[in-house]
């Protein structure tokens, strides 16, 4: 076994779903269409019809998702006006939205490594300043890259003891 809990493992079950950040995050943005919209936002897209075109989703669903993500505070709506057109709104990532960068690009990186046909690398991420490749990694304070074996998962002990054991 790689990882270990420094705490009472048995008490996790009640806590697991209700307080787990991974489950909460999946419920908030886990829909495929939300992820694709966020992808386009990271690529620089801001306008409704561009989200529709590039995600190849239906207008109806993109509207629902943008409203949902805006309601969560991942996007803010900024008015703009093209020449000869009426005022529209563009959807701009907030800090809360931008902070999903590691999550989104980690999915990209894994898909590139394991799901793309051999030799394919449709997108590349570069550090703008140097042109060097960008990787998503787990890092310790010392700056080293960490793998699963290097990481301990620690549960707050007074939270652990507050849970009922319904295993």
Partner DNA sequence: ACCCTGACTTGATGATGTAGTAGCCAGTTC
Partner DNA sequence: GAACTGGCTACTACATCATCAAGTCAGGGT
Q: Which of 1, 60, 148, 167 binds DNA (CB under 7 A)?
A: 60
What is the phi/psi pair of residue 31, to 5°? -65, 140
Residue 82 found at the interface with its own copies (CB under 8 A): no
Site string for its own copies, 91-130 (x = CB under 8 A): --x--x-xxxxxxxxxxxxxxxxxxx---xxxxxxxxxxx
Residue 159 found at the interface with its own copies (CB under 8 A): yes
Q: Secondary structure of 60-112 in the HEC alphabet?
A: HHHHHHHHHHHHCCCEEEEEECCCCCCCEEEEEECHHHHCCHHHHHHHHHHHH
Closer residue to DNA in complex, CB, 7/77: 77
Q: Which of 59, 48, 33, 53 is nearest to 89 (CA)?
A: 48
Residue 48 found at the interface with its own copies (CB under 8 A): no
Q: Under rule CB under 7 A, which residues in 62-101 are in contact with DNA? A: 63-67, 84-89
CA–CA gap between residue 16 and residue 82 (Å, rounded) = 49
Residue 53: strand, helix, or coil: helix
5 binds, among its own copies, DNA, none (CB under 5 to 8 A by kind): its own copies
Q: Which of 5, 82, 71, 84 is nearest to 47 (CA)?
A: 82
Minimum distance, C-beta of residue 24 to DNA, in the bound complex (Å): 13
134 binds, among its own copies, DNA, none (CB under 5 to 8 A by kind): its own copies
Size of site (CB under 8 A) for its own copies? 91
């Amino acid at each position: 076994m790689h990882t270990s809990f420094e705490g009472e493992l048995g008490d996790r079950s009640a806590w697991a779903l209700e307080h787990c950040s991974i489950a909460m995050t999946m419920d908030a943005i886990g829909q495929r269409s939300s992820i694709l919209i966020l992808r386009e936002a990271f690529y620089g897209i801001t306008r409704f019809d561009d989200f529709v075109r590039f995600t190849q989703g239906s207008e109806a669903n993109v509207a629902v998702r943008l409203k949902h993500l805006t309601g969560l505070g991942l996007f803010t709506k900024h008015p703009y006006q093209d020449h000869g057109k009426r005022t529209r709104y563009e959807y701009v990532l907030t800090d809360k939205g931008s902070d999903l960068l590691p999550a989104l690009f980690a999915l990209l990186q894994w898909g590139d490594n394991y799901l793309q046909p051999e030799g394919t690398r449709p997108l590349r991420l570069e550090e703008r300043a140097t042109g060097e490749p960008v990787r998503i990694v787990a890092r310790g304070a010392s700056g080293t890259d960490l793998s699963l074996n290097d990481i301990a998962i620690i549960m707050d002990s007074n939270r652990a003891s507050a849970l009922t054991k319904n295993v």
